[in-house]
Amino acid sequence: MSSTLFRTKKVEQSILDTEEPEHALKKSLSALDLTVFGVGVIIGTGIFVLTGTVAKNNAGPAVALAFVVAGVVCALAALCYAEFASTVPVAGSAYTFSYASLGELPAWIIGWDLVLEFALGTAVVAVGWSGYIHSLLANAGWELPAALSTRDGADGFGFDILAAALVLVLTAILVVGTKLSARVTSVVVAIKVTVVLTVIIAGAFLVEGKNYDPFVPKAQAVPAGDSLQSPLIQLMFGWAPSNFGVMGIFTAASVVFFAFIGFDVVATAAEETKNPQRDMPRGIIGSLVICTTLYVAVSIVVTGMRHYSELSVTAPLADAFKATGHPWFAGFISFGAAVGLTTVCMILLLGQTRVFFAMSRDGLLPRFFSHVHPRFRTPHRPTILLGVVIAVLAGFTPLSELAELVNIGTLFAFVVVAIGVIILRRTRPDLHRAFRTPWVPFIPILSVLASLWLMLNLPTETWLRFAGWMALGFVVYFVYGRSHSRLGRHEETTVDEVGGRPPGNGAA
């Protein structure tokens, strides 16, 4: 049984599957498209909201260092993703990489994890987008009925129609094609980056040096019983290191990590890239470098404009400009945030549909979802299904307490990909690698340790919810996925043909 659970799918077979007419996606993306996708999905809620939250509660002006720490963790993972994406240019990202290196069960686990990550991420961002739109409408004197603008209407029942509508519109765009998605994203990213650069440049003239004192506020220990931090962190330190000091920077990094979520989505588009061996590493690493630079610059400017203890936790950028006598920036920033979150939502949805598509093509999910549209060459069935489901989630469900699940899901994917790089280097040294992660196994090991450290800084409730989702995933796999696995059926056919056991370790 263990040999079937950890049977691996050869890289060559994964690539051959992408050439089957009914499963072939259209190759239309360039390195620039991928970089734009990456920037489009990374710059979102984090830069417009989280800066104030972690500065005020965890790190003070040293929130800039927290962004650096989170960026370094992502950079270590990005190097591993880049090698895999250039070696296995197949839709599915970490799921496909795991299937080639760790085996079917680990691949299922990471695929199931990614489905959760992207679904919740899309829904949470859609709700955030809706909030900004409501704010802009309110400034213009327009109000939607309570029952159509919130999940808590006047009679206790409501539906966030704007959040749901956004998801459905983006679903339609993704069905039509990834090139159209790239064009829409390019326009929106240009607007979003313009807003961010304006904040940096204009804010730099309003910085006051006294606001950086102290740059790293003195640590404030909190009794373990009064904290929601992971019990492992409490055991290691005797307290929850969540308030300022050096440990506050690491805690802040685990929170602002949400601001970086999405660069791994670039890897899910490998199969739709014209030259994935060359362009995937450029898109993944390029988008991460650009966004980290912008994040650090924004956090330095904002904490210099206003003392961290006085920053708003909901709209820190707009609040900082209001406090310095420039209130018109509030509307400008809200507009930029609303526009920016549009691309975040769309690219997260794109990433989820590609993972779902790859899993169904392998038989671990119903193969009904693995057929592409005859004209648009996109996985229209899973796109429509997931779009409708997420629209309902965004419309009805209060998702704020589930947002941290996105963080832990992404970090878990980072761990698996890093381990996979080490294993595939040993098991398949013959594979052509257009990009090679430097200093293997040291970089992948550092990536694993850094990701685990941030995971330990997440609340206990997040771990429990994650464990529940994973347990449900095991049930689905053993009830359906294992018996319908395309790789497993291929092995059974081989056994029937030769009248014995399949050769080797069961790899297809």
pLDDT digits (tens, 9 = 90+) for 190-216: 888 888 898 899 999 999 999 999 999
pLDDT band at 107 (very low <50, low <70, confident <90, very high): very high
In a domain? residue 155:
yes
User: CATH no. for residue 478?
Assistant: 1.20.1740.10
- Residue 407: its pLDDT value, please? 76
- Residue 308: its pLDDT value, please? 92
Spell out a b/e string for 343-363, using b for 16 or more CB atoms within 10 Å of the CB, else e: bbbbbbbbbbbbbbbbbbbbb
pLDDT at residue 234 is higher than 60? no
Q: What is the spatial distance between Cα 74 and Cα 86, in angstroms, rounded to a whole number?
A: 18
Domain membership of residue 170 as a residue range: 59-179+213-278+345-492
- Residue 491: its pLDDT value, please? 63
Report angle CA 301, 305, 307 to the nearest 5 degrees: 110
Higher-confidence residue of 315 and 463: namely: 463
Could you give the number of structural domains in the chain? 1
In a domain? residue 351:
yes
Environment class of 260 (CB within 10 Å of its CB; exposed 0-12, middle 13-18, buried 19+) = buried
In a domain? residue 404:
yes
In a domain? residue 326:
no
pLDDT, average across residues 297-325: 86
pLDDT at residue 463 is higher than 90? no
Higher-confidence residue of 4 and 11: namely: 11
Higher-confidence residue of 69 and 221: namely: 69
Percent of the chain exceeding pLDDT 90 equals: 27
> Hey, what are 334's tokens?
């809200």
- Residue 471: its pLDDT value, please? 95
pLDDT in tens, 135-175: 777 767 787 776 666 555 444 456 888 889 999 999 998 89
Residues 6+ apart with CB under 8 A from 211: 61, 303, 304, 305, 306, 307, 308
In a domain? residue 389:
yes
pLDDT band at 506 (very low <50, low <70, confident <90, very high): very low
Q: What is the spatial distance between Cα 144 and Cα 154, in angstroms, rounded to a whole number?
A: 12
pLDDT at residue 350 is higher than 90? no
In a domain? residue 286:
no
Q: Which residue has the tokens 């499963």?
A: 23
pLDDT in tens, 238-261: 544 446 788 788 878 877 887 787
- Residue 294: its pLDDT value, please? 92
In a domain? residue 227:
yes
Work out the mean pLDDT of the chain and round it to a whole number.
Answer: 81
pLDDT at residue 386 is higher than 80? yes
Beta partners for residue 273, in sequence order: 29
pLDDT at residue 464 is higher than 60? yes
Q: What is the spatial distance between Cα 375 and Cα 380, in angstroms, rounded to a whole number?
A: 11
pLDDT at residue 307 is higher than 70? yes
Q: What is the pTM of this model?
A: 0.78
pLDDT, average across residues 5-17: 86
In a domain? residue 9:
no
